[in-house]
Structure 1
């Protein structure tokens, strides 16, 4: 017998006849006419080359072949109903699984603490794996399912095939050691370009501010380039270095070392922080829950800063 020739609806009819032992009651249970049910029973008999159900004075009785098939068909029908046709769902309180989130080191400091507190109470079996990837690799990781979300500034993901959701908009400011007395309370553009800068390029890539400065033709005096924002904790104290960073960086670094914060002598471009996911995961219940949690915990109103 070729499985392609078997109509699964016939198995449902078989299972219903085993329970009702009546063509009329089977037709009513399946929402079919009696003639359609009789026709389906004829096809079912042809598939198995057996009468399967024989009319007696009281009801339709199964043949030995039907009795042999009954438990197997019951399992098949129940599997289809309970495991294949059921709408997918995700129960965070019972879940035992891991999610991978792409985010730079500052994202680990800014976005994860609030989420972890929620997981402790709402989904204790859920584990997070935070990793950093270059922009080109981020798209590939989401597409292949190696990562569930990307959170931060990922302009390369603003394209077809990826969904995005805004978390907040922030801007840039200057930070330097609190012991740096070489600068006044305000910076002029000339001073800004002349001071010694430390620049952070996660994964060696340029960022929005650098493109803005290049477009203006403004060249800074870059003394040090770093790959990780949190390295500023060790490198700013005791120096006159200045770093131009997103406000969240300034807040996070200021939690650990004394800082001076200076406004920029120009209006910097706004920095849109978003979360991204591949279109394959749009209707996945687990991914929908995860991105909903990150959005709820990390969404901010315009102008709001990361809590100190």
Structure 2
């Protein structure tokens, strides 16, 4: 018997007959007319080359072949009803799964604390894995399901096949150790370019600010290049170094070490922070819930500050 030639609706009729032992009651249970149910029973008999159900008094009793088939047919019908035909859903309170988020270390300190607090309340068994990848690798990770969401500045994902949602706009600020007397509250462009700079390029990525300065033909005196913003916590105190960093990094670093913020001698570029997901995840309930959570926790109005 070739399954391609089998009408699976016949199994629903078989299952109902096995439970109700009546053509009329089966018809009522599955919403068919009595003639249609009788016709389906005739097709079942032909399919299995067996009478399957025969009249015995007021009921249709199963044959040995029908008794043999009944448990397996019941399992198939239940599986279709409970596992295949049920609408997709996601229950955060009971879900036990892990989500992978693409975000640089700035995202880990800026976006995840608030999300984690919400998870502990609404989804206590859900885990997050934060991964930092070069921008060019982010698309592959989202396409193949290695990650569910990318949060941050990912201009390479602004293309067909991806959805994006804006969270907030931010900009760059210049910071230095609060005890750095060589640096005042304001710098001329010459003083800024001549200062001793720490430059942070996570995963070796070219930063938005780098392109901005290069386009203007301005070149800083870079003394140290780092891969992680949080290294500034150890390197700025007691030094004459300055760092030009996204506002959120300045906020986080300033919570741990004494800083001074220096007015830049130019208007720095704006950074649009967004979350991105691949189109195959657009209608996935779990992904929809996850990005909704990130949006609720991290969205800011213009001028809004990073939550504490």
Partner SS state of residue 292, structure 1: helix
- Where do residues 201-212 of structure 1 align in structure 2 (5 Å cutoff)? 201-212=201-212
Alpha-carbon distance in structure 2 between the residues aligned to 1:236 and 1:184: 15
- Where do residues 116-135 of structure 1 align in structure 2 (5 Å cutoff)? 116-135=116-135
Aligned residue pairs total: 308
Q: Shift of residue 7 of structure 1?
A: 1.3
Partner SS state of residue 4, structure 1: helix
Matched, 1:277 2:282: no
Alpha-carbon distance in structure 1 between the residues aligned to 2:96 and 2:59: 49
Moved more, 247-256 or 18-27: 18-27
Q: What residue ranges of structure 2 are gaps of 5+ in the alignment? A: none
Matched, 1:179 2:182: no
TM-score (norm 1): 0.94
* Match in the other structure for 1:139: 139
Deviations 1:227-252 (A, max 9, x none): 11111111112222111111001001
* Match in the other structure for 1:233: 233
Deviations 1:190-215 (A, max 9, x none): 22222222111111111111111122
Q: What residue ranges of structure 1 are gaps of 5+ in the alignment? A: none
Alpha-carbon distance in structure 2 between the residues aligned to 1:298 and 1:185: 30
Q: Shift of residue 21 of structure 1?
A: 2.5
Moved more, 66-75 or 18-27: 18-27
Deviations 1:67-112 (A, max 9, x none): 2211211111011101111112222222222221111112111111
TM-score (norm 2): 0.94
* Match in the other structure for 1:254: 254
* Match in the other structure for 2:306: 306
- Where do residues 1-308 of structure 1 align in structure 2 (5 Å cutoff)? 1-308=1-308
Alpha-carbon distance in structure 1 between the residues aligned to 2:270 and 2:21: 71
Alpha-carbon distance in structure 1 between the residues aligned to 2:217 and 2:31: 75
CA RMSD between the two structures: 1.6
2:184–2:262 CA contact under 8 A, matched in 1: no
Deviations 1:114-166 (A, max 9, x none): 11222222222122111111112211111121112111111111112222111
Moved more, 214-223 or 163-172: 214-223
Alpha-carbon distance in structure 2 between the residues aligned to 1:297 and 1:126: 16
Partner SS state of residue 180, structure 1: coil
Q: Shift of residue 30 of structure 1?
A: 2.5
2:175–2:244 CA contact under 8 A, matched in 1: yes
Q: Shift of residue 12 of structure 1?
A: 0.3
Q: Shift of residue 172 of structure 1?
A: 0.8
2:171–2:247 CA contact under 8 A, matched in 1: yes
Moved more, 276-285 or 225-234: 276-285
Q: Shift of residue 258 of structure 1?
A: 0.8
Alpha-carbon distance in structure 1 between the residues aligned to 2:205 and 2:15: 62
Alpha-carbon distance in structure 2 between the residues aligned to 1:255 and 1:307: 12
Partner SS state of residue 210, structure 1: helix
Alpha-carbon distance in structure 1 between the residues aligned to 2:213 and 2:60: 85
Q: Shift of residue 170 of structure 1?
A: 0.6
